[in-house]
Structure formats: structure tokens, C-alpha cells
Amino acid sequence: MLGWLYLPLPKSVSQIFFFFFPGSIVNPRRMESLGNGTLDVSVTKKFGQRVQKKESEEKKRCSPRLREIHESKRPYYGPPRKHHPPILLEGLDAAAETPSAQLSAFSYVPHTRTDKARVKKALRIYNKYYLHFFQEEYACENDTIPLAKHLDLKQKEGVCEIGGKRPDLKAISKMIECNEVLFPTKRFGHLPGIDVGYQFYSRAEMVALGLHSHWLNSIDYMGVSCKITEEFKGYTFPIAIAIVLSGEYEDNSEDIVYTGEDGNRFTGSEHQEMSCGNLALKNSMKQSIPVRVIRGHAGDNHLKIYTYDGLYKVSECWPAEGVSGFVVYKYLLKRLEGQPKLTSNQVECSNGRSRVPAKAPLMVCLDISEGQEDVHIPVVNTIDDTTITGFTYTKYNQILSNLKLPPNADGCDCKGSCKNPKRCSCARLNGVDFPYVRSNGGRLIEAKDVVFECGPNCGCGPGCINRISQQGIKYQLEVFRTSDRGWAVKTKDFIPSGAPVCEYIGELRRTNELDSVAENDYIFEIDCWQTIKGIGGRERRLGDVFDLGRRDEKEFAEPEFCVDAGRIGNVARFINHSCDPNLFVQCVLSSHHDLKLARIVLFASDDIAPMQELTYDYGYALDSVVDKNGKVRMLPCHCGTSECRKRLY
């Protein structure tokens, strides 16, 4: 079929087009770029409807392209009972395969707790490397370069790479080098442990998991090198497997018109080409292979949040005129059915802008601290009419008259702010470097046996990097009422992993004085040895702390002191237990070096999204709590996590 056709286009590109249709009808909406850069356009509405009807009828049958692919390898969207192409488990132990491992890559299934635990572990590894490299970069800028030997970072002492890779990219490289990327081999479909709605706070985190393997490009695809493997024999490569959408796309839409990449992605000053990622998306369309879609959103405080929205089918592809007049490729993406509801709108809720609460909250008080903290801590109740009574807020531990604190330890002679860990005597107590980095206002690089901070006899000021936990509450917290766990605490801000949240505050007392308060559930025993060993084997700490290995375990067999927050305390008193917590307990020594009277500080173990409840593991051993008559007390656990042990004590 040969013909001439003139249709009015925007004035800037009005022109005559030549169409050539060799032997078969071409869908006018799926236009291809001609050699001279011009664009095809729609013929007529009626003609297009006939074409779409014809294609719809053909799609009901197996396409010629799919006939060349073995039936066991064809993508399938029907009932799960008919077809289950296996998911590959790169990087996972064969003995630990989860039930979800054998289910369809394109069918949504609930993720097991093992899947989720592996995701959490991989992200913690990434954050650890990231903070170490961030510290290394800071040391370079300040001409102080200690060696983090336990990480084997392979950096020569005294050598600094100014202007090198960013810390997040170095962390990714380190994970690749150590084979610690969760899914290092590219693959189709959902990834075990990453549920629809999962949120990330950097592109690098997605690379660390293998959800999207490039920190900059929008389209992630499997290249032509994959066709040599037996598993992918018969497929046409490249094939797109994941895309990242920027914030200009409509939230929660089941259909997305996606604009391809390149053509000078930064200025849009060139024609896009049907190659690389653009070609990969087209091949995914032809072979009916869905892609993972991750949406990027702008959060508060310049924070970028990425939400996994699930699998989308590439339904159509066509070239169009971009904003600058150059050719861009557009793709119609349709979300697969059977997946959880889209949750991208939860980003708005997580930024503290929830549109409609389940019930108008009862504002118990505007600030439970009554101005003692730098940020207000409101108390709300949407459950009942309960208020908080018999409790006095305090920012500092109260010392009983019969208890005498150890004398203040000798401090460092740094001036202003400690910068060089080789010269700071307090930093040397922690090993080779400061335990904190200045990222996001101060973060603990990783959990340690004990953190030694600068104290009252040090020459540095309150803004010193080695006083991070002494700087008070920085994040907006809220006390709220739950239906089955009493009061709880959530954050209105994003809290990065390693950030100090609050100290457990109350009355310092001896544990042998607790007989009269046996019913008090707000007792926190200062048991650093339990923390060092790991709570019931559930936590592991970085050792190598000054003089700690020479201590006798019998010295800490029974905790001598505790913090009683029953009548007097701070916001930490209201933080609930969880068997899968997002906070961890860290013993901190600042004014003195007596482990028996260490400060109890709660740090974020993972990145915590806004509006999430804060929890930590109370660390009880079963049958360890008795009443005043010696009878064992039992309390069921209602944390509701997949790791729940069913009993608190």
C-alpha cells in the first residue's frame, strides 16, 4: 500500500509525510521513526479502530513471535495453577529456599519472613558501607584518614581520593566486590521480600537489592549477552525489567504514559533513538514481559522517596514530538491485576499530610514535654477517652538520694570540636575512629559494645561529633493510643539508620529496691553485658572496644542499677516492644566509664519512614519476670510482626 497524506500538526512541525505499508496493516498509534527523523501520524479514527480490533483478535491467540519461544518460557498472566515459571535465587543458599521461590515471577504472592529478613539484612550492609565511606570522605576533607581495618576497605593510610566516587556508589561497589548484592543477576518479575509499597530513600538502595541495577538510568534491562544462556534461548534482547519514574507522573494511576530515555536526558536537545533502554521496553512489549515500576516522589526536607508499585505490562509504543520539538518515544504501561493496591499516595501520609484520619483525633496535649525538648511531642488518642495521668516528664535522669554516681572521667584536650580521631583520647576508646558521622545531623555507623563519648571534662563544645546522643531529641515524635498495646510512639519525620532517637530517661535506682514496684512495667535494667552479648542471640555488635574484653562476665551477672520510668521519665517510656523492631539499644558512656551506670540510648536500626511506629526489643527472657510472691508472670506479645515470639515474657 502506497499513499500520500497531509495532516495538520503543531505549526512548528507541519509538513507532508510519506507512508509505506508493506503488505500488512500497521497500527497507526505504534509509529516508528523514519530515517530522516520525521514522524508517522494517525490515518483516520475509523481506520485505527479497525486495526485495534484486528490486533485485539490476534492477541487472543499466540503471536508468531511467541510461537518461536518454548511454551515453558512464554510469559503467562492466567490463573497461577496453569503455569509457574520458577524464580531464580541468585545469591541465596539453596538449603534456605523459601516457598515463594518456586512461584510465578509474574504472579503476586505474599513474601515470607525469610524473604523480608534478607532484604533488611542487605540494606543494613549497604548502610554500614555507606556510613563508613561517608566518614572516609569527611576524613579526607579534614586531612585525617584512619583505617577501618575490620571492613577491609583497602585504602592506603594517608592517601585520600578527593573528588572520587560518592559514598553511596562506593558502597555499591563494595557490595558487588563482596558478592553481597541480594539479587546480583538481573531477572524478571517481583523479587522475594520486596512487597508492593516498599519504600527506598536512594537509588543506591535499589541497586544493593537488585531491584533496579543502575543508580542513574531510568530503564534497567537485560542485554544481548543474556541470549547465550540456555534459560533465555528464544528471547529477543535487550529486554526491560524495571523503570524508575520521576515525580511528574500521576500518582496511583493504573495506566502510565512513560517517556523513554536518552536524547540528552538532561536537556532534551536531541532525538531519542530506538536503542538500549527504549528498544528493551519495545521488546518487552512484543514478548509480553512486564516490568517493575518504581515511582520517585519529593518528600520533606529535600528527601527523595522511591516506592515500588509492582508489575506493569508495556501495551503500546509510539514516537511523538517532545517539549523541545525533538523525537521522544512514549510507552503505555498498564498495571497487572491481582497485585496489592497502589500505595504511592502513602508518601503524602508519611510526610505528615494525611488527608483524612480514621477518626478525628483527641488531642490529649500539645506537648507532653512542656517545652523541655527542642521539639514539641503531642499526645493524641483516636481510640478512647484515656489520658496520661500520674506521670511527670523530665529530660534528664533523676538520681535518688541514696545513689552516688562515679566521678567524671578525664576528657580529651580537643578545642571547639573533635576532628582528628588520632589525637582525641575519647575517640581512641572506640577503636580507630569516631563512632559517628555527621550525615543527616549525626549517625552511629554501626552498633557497638559500648560507645565512648566526650564528656564534661573534655575541651570540645556541645556541637562535637562525639556528643551526638547528648544533643537531645531532633525528630518530630508523637505519642498515640493503640487498640491493644496501650500508648505508642511514631515519628513524623524520616529517621535514617544509625540516628539517635532518644535516651531512656527516668529515676536511677538499684535493682534490689524493686520489690515495692513489682507491677511496674517501665523498668529498664542497665544490663550492658546482655546488650554486648546480643539480646538472646538476636543482635550482634561490633567489638574491639577499649578494655572491655578484660572485664569479667561475672561482674555483670546481675544488673545492679536500673532506670525506673514508672512515675518520671521521657517519651521513651511509651515506645512499645516488637520482635522485629526498627530501633536498637546502645550503651553509651559520656561523663564516666562505669558500665553499670551507662546511658541507655535508642538508635534507628533501619531507615524509618515518616508516620511509622517506633519499637525496640525489650529483651526479656521467657519466664524471667516474677511477681512479689515469686510467681512467674506471663504477658502475650501483640507486636503483630512476622517474627513475633507470641510472648513478651
List Cβ neighbours of 404 (8 Å cut-off, separation of 6 or more): none
Is the distance from CB of 570 to CB of 369 less than 8 angstroms? yes
Residue 111 placed within a domain: yes
Burial group, residue 229, by CB count within 10 angstroms (0-12, 13-18, 19+): exposed
Mean pLDDT of 257-282: 79
> What's the confidence (pLDDT) of residue 269?
66
Residues 611, 490 contacting (CB under 8 angstroms): yes
| pLDDT at 166 > cutoff 60 | yes
* In contact, 458 and 444? CB cutoff 8 Å: no
Domain holding 597: CATH number? 2.170.270.10
End-to-end CA distance of the chain: 80
DSSP code of residue 125: H
- Cell matching residue 451: 560507645
| Domain total in the chain | 3
Domain assignment present for residue 240? The answer is yes
Phi (first) and psi of residue 65, to 5 degrees: -65, -40
Residue 134's pLDDT is: 92
Tell me which of 287, 315, 350 is where a domain ends.
350
Average pLDDT, the chain: 77
* Tens-digit pLDDT profile for residues 218-229: 999 999 888 777
Contacts (Cβ under 8 Å, ≥6 apart) of 56: none
The answer to whether residues 44 and 125 belong to one domain is no
Q: Which of 490, 509, 317 is nearest to 401 (CA)?
A: 509
Task: Examine the domain organization and report whether 340 and 457 are in the same domain.
Answer: no
pLDDT recorded at residue 209: 97
Q: Is residue 347 scored above 70 in pLDDT?
A: no
How does residue 19 score in pLDDT terms, banded at 50, 70 and 90?
A: very low
Which residue range forms the structural domain that includes residue 185?
A: 107-350
Confidence (pLDDT) at 534: 61
- Please say if the pLDDT value at position 549 is more than 70: no
**All residues at 6 or more sequence positions from 469 whose CB lies less than 8 Å from its CB, including other chains:** 451, 453, 500, 503, 586, 588, 590, 599, 601
Say whether 149 sits in a helix, a strand or coil. helix
Q: Indicate the residue among 37, 59, 81 that finishes a domain.
A: 59
Question: Which of 100-104, 551-555, 561-565, 623-627 is most confident?
Answer: 561-565
pLDDT higher for 247 or 321? 321
* Alpha-carbon dihedral angle through residues 97, 99, 105, 107, given to the nearest 10 degrees: -170
Percent of the chain beyond pLDDT 70?
Answer: 70
Question: What percent of the chain stands above pLDDT 90?
Answer: 47
The answer as to whether 168 is a domain residue is yes
| Judgement on whether residues 339 and 407 belong to the same structural domain of the protein | no
Decide if pLDDT at 525 tops 60: yes
Q: How confident is the model at residue 280 (pLDDT cuts 50, 70, 90)?
A: very high
* Residue 458 confidence (pLDDT) above 90: yes
Task: Decide if 497 is inside a domain.
Answer: no
Candidate from 8-17, 176-185, 324-333 with smallest mean pLDDT: 8-17
**Residue 323 banded pLDDT, cuts 50, 70, 90:** confident
CB 168 within 8 A of CB 130: yes
| Pick from 559, 589, 564, 570: nearest CA to 509 | 564
pLDDT of residue 519: 62
Clarify whether residues 529 and 447 are in a common domain.
yes
pLDDT band at 636 (very low <50, low <70, confident <90, very high): confident
Amino acid 7: pLDDT? 40
Q: Reduce the secondary structure of 548-589 to three states and give it as a string.
A: HHHCCHHHHCCCCEEEECCCEECHHHHCEECCCCCEEEEEEE
What own/partner pairs with CB < 8 Å and gap ≥ 24 does 140-148 have? 142/419, 142/420, 144/419, 144/420, 144/421, 144/422, 146/421, 146/422, 146/432, 146/433, 147/432, 148/432, 148/433
CATH code: domain of residue 241: 2.30.280.10
- Three cell numbers written together for 19: 507512508
- More confident: 5 or 473: 473
User: Confidence class of residue 315 from pLDDT cuts 50, 70 and 90?
Assistant: very high
Pairing of strands 379-381, 477-481: parallel
The overall pTM is greater than 0.95: no
Q: What is the pLDDT of residue 297?
A: 84
Same structural domain, 29 and 127: no
The model's pLDDT over 366-414, given as tens digits with 9 standing for 90+, comes to: 999 999 999 999 999 999 889 999 999 999 999 988 888 999 999 999 9
Q: What is the pLDDT of residue 36?
A: 37
Neighbours of 98 (CB within 10 A): 20
pLDDT at residue 35 above 70?
no
Do 614 and 583 meet the contact criterion of CB atoms below 8 Å apart? yes
Give 323-328's long-range contacts (Cβ < 8 A, gap of 24+): 323/268, 324/267, 324/268, 324/269, 325/12, 325/13, 326/263, 326/268, 326/269, 326/270, 326/271, 326/272, 327/33, 327/37, 327/39, 327/263, 327/271, 327/272, 328/259, 328/260, 328/263, 328/268, 328/272
Model pLDDT, residue 213? 94
Is the same domain home to 279 and 428? no
Residues 263 and 328 in one domain: yes
Question: Are the CB atoms for 211 and 199 separated by under 8 Å?
Answer: no
Q: How far apart are CA 90 and CA 366, in angstroms?
A: 51
Number of C-beta neighbours around residue 446 at 10 A: 20
Residue 97: the pLDDT is: 36
Q: What local confidence, expressed as pLDDT, does residue 163 receive?
A: 56
The predicted pLDDT at position 41 comes to 36
Cell 510467681, residue? 631
Domain presence at residue 423: yes
- Mark whether 319 and 443 lie in a shared domain: no
Looking at residue 577, what is its pLDDT?
93
Q: Is the pLDDT of residue 131 over 90?
A: yes
CB 453 within 8 A of CB 470: yes
Rounded Cα distance, 244 and 203, in Å: 9
Query: In terms of pLDDT, which residue wins out, 245 or 345?
Result: 245
Distance, in Å, from the CA atom of 358 to the CA atom of 422, rounded to the nearest integer, reads 54
Same domain, 216 and 272: yes
- Taking the C-alpha atoms of residue 358 and residue 338, their distance in angstroms, rounded to an integer, is 26
Closest CA to 200 of 212, 217, 188: 212
CA gap 625, 604 in Å, rounded: 27
- C-alpha distances out from residue 428 to 59, 449, 471, Å: 69, 14, 21
d(Cα 366, Cα 379) in Å, to the nearest integer?
7
Report the pLDDT value the prediction gives residue 537, as an integer from 0 to 100.
44
The answer to which of 140-149, 506-515, 526-535 has the lowest mean pLDDT is 140-149
Set of cell numbers at residue 482: 493503640
HSE on the CB side for 223, CA within 13 Å?
A: 4
Same-domain status, 258 and 115: yes
Place of cell 517481583: 190
Q: Is residue 615 part of a domain?
A: no
> Strand 362-365 to strand 239-245: parallel, antiparallel, or no bridges (unpaired)?
unpaired
Identify whether residues 537 and 439 lie together within a single domain. yes
The strand pairing partners of 616, in sequence order, are 577
What average pLDDT does the segment 329-338 reach? 93
176-190, 292-306, 424-438, 532-546: least confident range: 532-546
Q: How many CA atoms lie within 13 A of 590 on its CB side?
A: 21
Which residues does 587 contact at the CB level (< 8 Å), separation at least 6? 449, 450, 451, 526, 528, 531, 532, 595, 598, 599, 600, 601
Residue 579 has pLDDT above 50, yes or no: yes
CA distance 93 to 58: 43
For range 570-597, the mean pLDDT: 95
Flag whether pLDDT at 646 surpasses 90. no
**Exposed, middle or buried: residue 278 (CB in 10 Å: 0-12, 13-18, 19+)?**
buried
The pLDDT of residue 81 is above 50: no
588 and 459 in one domain?
Answer: yes
Residue with cell 511467541: 66
- 215, 209 Cβ separation under 8 angstroms: no
Domain-embedded: residue 486:
no
Collect contacts of 247-252 with beta carbons under 8 A, ≥24 apart.
247/295, 247/296, 247/297, 247/298, 249/295, 251/295, 251/297, 251/342, 251/344, 251/345, 251/347, 252/342, 252/344, 252/345
Would 408 be classed as within a structural domain? yes
Which pLDDT band holds residue 556 (cuts at 50, 70, 90)? Answer: low
pLDDT category of residue 193 using cuts at 50, 70 and 90? very high
Whole-number pLDDT of residue 548: 52
